[in-house]
């Protein structure tokens, strides 16, 4: 189990720790972009346009993986990654829980630790996985939570 938590109660900057991995976010407040230190390696999340639902995770000058929101009305994202095409989606319209699927099989879940908490757990259900991709998926969940909080939901 990998645990994620904000740096403090007022922050959307998170860290992930567990199973020999660590990731730390430096969220840009003016955009849906950030820097992520994943297992001591720097990555950047870039958004493709102010109104776009498309992001890239970059390592240096190369694109590591990309994400595309599937619909403006749904909380789901398709991620093209070294693992293949992953589908990140919420478990229901009224919950903050998400799952990550590969070829129709759930490979990981992201759940809040408590009902009113911003702490979360990333539970990886497969033995072989790409941690930078799953850290990027975790960041996308935090982004969707942040959007929901900003809209008053």
Q: Angle at CA 117, nearest 5°, toward 6 and 19?
A: 55
Cα distances (angstroms) measured from residue 73 to each of 8, 77, 111: 30, 11, 21
**pLDDT on residue 9:** 75
**pLDDT on residue 153:** 44
Query: Residue 152: pLDDT above 50?
Result: no
CATH code reported for the domain at 2-150: 2.40.160
**pLDDT on residue 114:** 66
Q: Quote the pTM value.
A: 0.88
**pLDDT on residue 104:** 95
26, 9 Cβ separation under 8 angstroms: no
The residue extents of the domains of the chain are 2-150
Sign of CA dihedral 99, 100, 106, 109: negative
**pLDDT on residue 150:** 55
Query: Residue 4: pLDDT above 70?
Result: yes
Q: What is the pLDDT of residues 23-68, one digit of tens each?
A: 998 877 767 888 999 999 999 999 987 778 899 999 999 999 999 9
Q: What percent of the chain has pLDDT over 70?
A: 90
Q: What is the pLDDT of residues 84-126, one digit of tens each?
A: 999 999 987 667 899 999 999 999 999 987 666 678 999 999 9
Cα distances (angstroms) measured from residue 46 to each of 49, 51, 54, 92, 133: 9, 13, 9, 27, 14
């Amino acid at each position: 189990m990998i645990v994620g938590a904000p740096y403090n109660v007022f922050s959307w900057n998170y860290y992930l720790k567990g199973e020999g991995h660590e990731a730390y976010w430096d969220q840009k407040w003016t955009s849906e972009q950030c820097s992520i230190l994943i297992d001591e390696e720097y990555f950047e999340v870039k958004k493709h346009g102010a109104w776009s639902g498309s992001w890239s995770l970059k390592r240096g000058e190369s694109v590591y993986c990309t994400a595309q929101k599937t619909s403006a009305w749904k909380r789901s994202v398709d991620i093209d990654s070294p693992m293949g095409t992953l589908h990140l989606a919420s478990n229901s319209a009224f919950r903050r829980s998400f799952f990550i699927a590969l070829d129709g099989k759930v490979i990981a879940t992201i759940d809040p630790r408590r009902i009113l908490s911003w702490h979360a757990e990333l539970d990886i259900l497969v033995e072989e996985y790409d941690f930078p991709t799953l850290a990027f998926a975790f960041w996308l969940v935090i982004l969707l939570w942040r959007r929901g909080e900003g809209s008053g939901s």
